[in-house]
């Protein structure tokens, strides 16, 4: 199959590379010439484990190319995927669909035969119908179908998620479009991965409902963690106890500083807005958004409490600023709330992150970047674990404590235990959801 992928952001690039590895001929399109030149050199503009090697393999095989010329890519394509950004729109919290609609109009003018136009971007219910109207309005005689094919990729594990998915969701209106999509995903079908074929609206809804449900799980366990601190329970034990119930499951039950990233924050806001517009308010989702913001502020309080109520004049070492490990993505990361609050409170903040510096330098002004956690901890008053990178899971705690001015730790990912840090020489420790760990 010949595939054009419009947009080389996270979703577009990963999807395009993986489709080419299926054996399809893929052309990835982006308006940014610098990004296309980088990709043509074999350089990947995002950090995703294994993506650079997979890209190089398919470029060498002649199945994967890059261009700024959308018309060239769309001409003769069997399917054109729209994988552009849908950021939160200012003012009302809804998804900004201007990039999607602009791409649809350009695609319409470039099509030269039957084409399936596939929305890969995360979009509210009804968007694919709008894409259809835009294309029909721009080219009334166009022969095409519109399909919805939402992505379910976890940053840091995206290639495995694409190649071994829990399910593939495809929303279509015709058998002809369904046949094209089946051929595109044929390698997964042959290996018995579930392909869920629905109407357009159901496919759009599945994506938002799935993300909202996971955001609910994260927020629920953070609410329970707060109560655990008050009653003396241990959130790790509670999470394990409820997660072993097959109806609940153990994923997304890890207490911490709240969810972030490119999906959950904007998707929950857009989903809540959709409910309001259709007189079916999603009260649970609206509450999740509110509580998640409160969770981040509670993390600031934990650090403040460790420092006697104020960080003014204190040196704080922050380990990790990306929203999760194994990615360089800073979008909506808890660090973007917590670190500025520490700087604003008068702290001297040192930051170390294996991949976050490229984006973080612009997003976190007023901090000092370090190369390793021990450098960051030198003469520090408190160390804060904010992202659970593997590099921070096996620290030499004694070495770190000896370097600090006052060895105190705010472990906002529950990586360690009070016994670990006490034996290493720390004098104060705060975790999430474990009251007996608040003071040593």
pLDDT band for 439, please (50, 70, 90 cuts). low
**In a 10 Å sphere around its CB, with 0-12 CB exposed, 13-18 middle and 19+ buried, how is residue 191 labelled?**
exposed
DSSP 58-81: HHHTT-EEEES-HHHHHTT-SEEE
Using one digit for the tens of pLDDT, what is the confidence trace for 27-82? 999 999 999 999 999 999 999 999 999 999 999 999 999 999 999 999 999 999 99
What are the C-alpha distances in Å from 377 to residues 244, 318, 348, 371, 407?
38, 9, 12, 11, 9
Residues making up the annotated binding site for NAD(+) are 30, 35, 86, 122, 155, 266, 331
Residue 190 shares a structural domain with residue 300: no
Q: Work out how many domains the chain is built from and give that number.
A: 2
Q: Which of 152, 180, 198 is the last residue of a domain?
A: 198
3-state secondary structure of 145: strand
Residue 111 shares a structural domain with residue 221: no
Using one digit for the tens of pLDDT, what is the confidence trace for 161-184? 999 999 999 999 999 999 999 999
**CATH number reported for the structural domain that contains residue 421 in this entry:** 3.40.50.720
Residue 179 shares a structural domain with residue 245: no
Using one digit for the tens of pLDDT, what is the confidence trace for 362-383? 999 999 999 999 999 999 999 9
Residue 162 shares a structural domain with residue 230: no
Mean pLDDT of the chain: 95
Q: Which domain holds residue 349?
A: 199-440
In this prediction the pTM is 0.92
**Are residues 342 and 312 in contact, defined by beta-carbon separation less than 8 angstroms?**
no
Q: Give the pLDDT confidence score for residue 436 in this predicted structure.
A: 55
Residues making up the annotated binding site for substrate are 152-155, 207, 252-256, 260, 324
Within the chain, how many helices (H) and strands (E) appear? 18, 14
Residues making up the annotated binding site are 30, 35, 86, 122, 152-155, 207, 252-256, 260, 266, 324, 331
Using one digit for the tens of pLDDT, what is the confidence trace for 133-156? 999 999 999 999 999 999 999 999
Q: Give the pLDDT confidence score for residue 89 in this predicted structure.
A: 85
Residue 437 pLDDT > 70, yes or no? Answer: no
* Rounded distance between C-alpha atoms, residue 430 and residue 436, angstroms: 9
Residue 283 shares a structural domain with residue 384: yes
Q: Which of 136, 166, 198 is the last residue of a domain?
A: 198
Residue 338 shares a structural domain with residue 242: yes
pLDDT band for 438, please (50, 70, 90 cuts). very low
Q: Tell which residue, 408, 375, 219, has the closest CA to residue 304.
A: 408
Give me the mean pLDDT over the 215-237 stretch.
95
Residue 287 shares a structural domain with residue 317: yes
Residue 215 shares a structural domain with residue 106: no
* Rounded distance between C-alpha atoms, residue 382 and residue 315, angstroms: 7
Q: Which of 177, 198, 219 is the last residue of a domain?
A: 198
Residue 76 shares a structural domain with residue 107: yes
Q: Give the pLDDT confidence score for residue 15 in this predicted structure.
A: 98
pLDDT band for 423, please (50, 70, 90 cuts). very high
Residue 297 shares a structural domain with residue 208: yes
Q: Give the pLDDT confidence score for residue 244 in this predicted structure.
A: 97
Residue 173 shares a structural domain with residue 204: no
Task: Cite the active site residues.
Answer: 263
Residue 41 shares a structural domain with residue 92: yes
């Amino acid at each position: 199959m010949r595939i054009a992928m419009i947009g080389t952001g996270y979703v577009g690039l990963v999807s395009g590379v993986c489709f080419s590895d299926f054996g399809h001929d893929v052309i990835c399109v982006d308006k940014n010439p610098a990004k296309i030149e980088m990709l043509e050199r074999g350089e990947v503009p995002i950090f995703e484990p294994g993506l650079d090697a997979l890209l190089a393999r398919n470029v060498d095989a002649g199945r994967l190319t890059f261009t700024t010329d959308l018309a060239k890519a769309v001409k003769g394509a069997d399917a054109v995927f729209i994988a552009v950004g849908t950021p939160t729109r200012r003012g009302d919290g809804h998804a900004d669909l201007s990039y999607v609609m602009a791409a649809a109009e350009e695609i319409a003018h470039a099509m030269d035969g039957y084409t399936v136009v596939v929305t890969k971007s995360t979009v509210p219910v009804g968007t694919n119908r709008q894409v259809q109207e835009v294309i029909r309005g721009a080219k009334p005689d166009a022969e095409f179908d519109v399909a919805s094919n939402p992505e379910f990729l976890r940053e840091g594990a995206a290639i495995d998620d694409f190649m071994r998915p829990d399910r593939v969701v495809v929303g279509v209106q015709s058998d002809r479009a369904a046949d094209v999509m089946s051929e595109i995903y044929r390698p997964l079908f042959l290996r018995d991965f579930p392909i869920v074929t629905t109407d357009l609206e159901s496919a759009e809804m599945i994506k938002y409902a799935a993300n909202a449900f996971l955001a609910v799980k994260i927020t629920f366990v953070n609410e329970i963690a707060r109560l655990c601190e008050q009653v003396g329970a241990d959130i790790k034990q509670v999470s394990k106890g409820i997660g072993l119930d097959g109806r609940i499951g153990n994923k997304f039950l890890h207490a911490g500083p709240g969810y972030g990233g490119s999906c959950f924050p904007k998707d929950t806001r857009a989903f809540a807005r959709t409910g309001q517009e259709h007189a079916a308010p999603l009260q649970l989702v609206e509450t999740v958004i509110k509580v998640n913001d409160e969770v981040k502020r509670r993390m600031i309080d934990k650090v403040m409490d460790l420092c006697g109520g104020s960080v003014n004049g204190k040196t704080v070492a922050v380990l990790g600023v990306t929203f999760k490990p194994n990615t360089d993505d800073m979008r909506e990361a808890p660090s973007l709330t917590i670190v500025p609050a520490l700087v604003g409170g008068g702290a001297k903040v040192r930051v170390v992150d294996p991949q976050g510096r490229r984006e973080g330098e612009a997003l976190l002004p007023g901090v000092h970047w370090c190369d390793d956690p021990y450098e960051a901890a030198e003469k520090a008053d408190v160390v804060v674990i904010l992202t659970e990178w593997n590099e921070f899971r096996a620290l030499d705690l004694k070495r770190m404590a000896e370097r600090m001015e006052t060895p105190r730790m705010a472990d906002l990912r529950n990586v360690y235990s009070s016994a670990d840090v006490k034996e290493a020489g720390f004098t104060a420790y705060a975790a999430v959801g474990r009251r007996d760990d608040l003071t040593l």
